[in-house]
Chain A
Amino acid sequence: MNITPVSVELNIPNDPEKIIDHTKEILAIILEHVALDIGYQQRIKLILIELITNSIKHSKEESTAINLVIDQPHLSIQKIEKGLKIAFGAGSPQIPFENIQKTVSINFSEENRHDIQPLSQYKFKFLKPDREEDPDINQMPEHFGFYIITLAADSFVYQYDPELKESSYIVHLNL
C-alpha cells in the first residue's frame, strides 16, 4: 500500500445506465491505494452514486470531473461542475452569504430541507440532521441525494468559485 498522498483525476460520463459501473471503477482505484472494510466501501459507493446522479440530473455536461485525494487517514472525493452556483428555494439565504456566523436552514423544495453552516460567502458545510427522534414517515423527505451524502460522509462541503464559475462538492472521509 502506498502511504504518500495520491491524487487521481477522473472524468466520468453522465450516463445513467453506467452509474454503478463507474462507481465500482472509482472504488477499485481507491482500493488500489488503501485497504477499506466493507462499511467504508458501502459509504463510498453511496457517495459516488449520489454525486454522479446529481450531475446527471442537474448538469448539462456530458461528463463529471471527480478528483480523489487519498492521504491516509483521509480520503477526499471532489466533484467539480462548471456553470451556475447552487441555488436554494424561496425564503432561503442565497450564495454569496451575507452572514457567515450562524447555522441556517435552506431548502431546495418543500420536501428537501437542510441545515448548513456557511464557511465563507461562497462556501458552506451540510450539517448532519438531528437523529435523536424516531423517524416519522410523514416527516420524511422524498429527495435524498444530499441527505445521503451528508450522512455517509464525515464532512460534505459545497464551494463556488465566482471567477471560474465552478462548483465543487467536497466529501471527506476519515479512514
Chain B
Amino acid sequence: MNVTRKEIDGLVLLTIVEKDANLTRSDRFKEIVLNEIESGSRNLIISFENVEYLDSSFLGALVAILKNLVPKNGRLTLIALNSDIRNLFELTRLDKIFDLKDSLKSALEGFK
C-alpha cells in the first residue's frame, strides 16, 4: 500500500498513490491511518487523486477509520474523488457522513 504523507498547517495530507483501492490494500491502508491517529494526528485529509476505483473493503476501512477518529474529536476530509467513487458514496449515503471536497484548496478552507 503506497501512501504519501505531508503536513500542511497542522493538518496531515495522506495521498493514496495506488489506482486500485481494493481488498488487497484495505487492511494495510486502515493500519496506516489508524497509526497516524494513534500518533496524535486529528485533522486528516485523504486524497484519492490517483485512485480509479474503490471497492467495498476499502469503503469499510474508511468507515472504521472515521469511527475511530470521531470520538477523538478528529476530522477527516476526503478529496479528489472521481465520478465513480463519488457515486459510490452517494449510493451508500456515506456522502452524508464523510466530508467530501473536490480539491485540497477547498478542504483546507473547510478546516479554517
Residues on A lying within 8 angstroms of B by beta carbon are 16-17, 19-20, 23, 38-39, 42-43, 45-46, 49-50, 53, 56-57, 131, 134-138, 140-145, 147-148, 151-152
Provide the residues of chain A in CB contact with B83, threshold 8 Å.
38, 42
Please determine whether A135 and B91 come into contact, CB atoms closer than 8 angstroms.
Answer: no
Please determine whether B60 and A137 come into contact, CB atoms closer than 8 angstroms.
Answer: no
Minimum CB–CB distance for B67 against chain A, Å: 6
> Which segment of B8-16, B18-26, B36-44 sits at the interface?
B18-26
Tell me, in angstroms, the Cα distance from A17 to B59 when the chains sit together: 17
Q: CB within 8 Å of A: which of B30-79? A: 52-53, 55-57, 59-61, 63-64, 66-67, 70
Please determine whether B23 and A16 come into contact, CB atoms closer than 8 angstroms.
Answer: yes
In the complex, the 6 A-B pairs of residues with the closest C-beta atoms, listed nearest first: A144-B56, A142-B60, A145-B56, A42-B87, A16-B24, A135-B93
Provide the residues of chain A in CB contact with B63, threshold 8 Å.
137, 140-142
Provide the residues of chain B in CB contact with A42, threshold 8 Å.
83-84, 87
Please determine whether A131 and B88 come into contact, CB atoms closer than 8 angstroms.
Answer: no
Q: Is the interface of B mostly helix, strand, loop or mixed?
A: helix
Residues on B lying within 8 angstroms of A by beta carbon are 19-20, 22-24, 52-53, 55-57, 59-61, 63-64, 66-67, 70, 83-84, 87-88, 91-94, 96-97
Minimum CB–CB distance for A54 against chain B, Å: 9
Please determine whether A137 and B67 come into contact, CB atoms closer than 8 angstroms.
Answer: yes
Please determine whether A143 and B60 come into contact, CB atoms closer than 8 angstroms.
Answer: yes
Tell me, in angstroms, the Cα distance from A145 to B56 when the chains sit together: 5
Tell me, in angstroms, the Cα distance from A131 to B19 when the chains sit together: 31
Contact flag A45-B84 (CB < 8 Å), given A16-B23, A142-B60, A144-B60: yes
The answer, among A17, A56, A141, for a CB contact under 8 Å with B60, is: A141
Please determine whether A17 and B20 come into contact, CB atoms closer than 8 angstroms.
Answer: yes
Please determine whether B88 and A20 come into contact, CB atoms closer than 8 angstroms.
Answer: no
Please determine whether B94 and A140 come into contact, CB atoms closer than 8 angstroms.
Answer: yes
Provide the residues of chain B in CB contact with A143, threshold 8 Å.
56, 60
Minimum CB–CB distance for B21 against chain A, Å: 10
Please determine whether B96 and A151 come into contact, CB atoms closer than 8 angstroms.
Answer: no
Provide the residues of chain A in CB contact with B84, threshold 8 Å.
42, 45-46
Tell me, in angstroms, the Cα distance from A53 to B66 when the chains sit together: 23
Contact flag A53-B23 (CB < 8 Å), given A135-B96, A142-B60, A145-B56: yes
Tell me, in angstroms, the Cα distance from A125 to B7 when the chains sit together: 48
Provide the residues of chain B in CB contact with A57, threshold 8 Å.
23, 57
Tell me, in angstroms, the Cα distance from A16 to B88 when the chains sit together: 19
A-B pairs with beta carbons under 8 Å apart, 26 shown: A16-B20, A16-B24, A17-B20, A19-B53, A20-B20, A20-B52, A20-B53, A23-B53, A38-B83, A39-B87, A46-B88, A50-B56, A56-B23, A131-B93, A135-B93, A135-B94, A140-B63, A140-B94, A142-B61, A143-B60, A144-B92, A145-B57, A148-B56, A148-B88, A148-B92, A151-B92
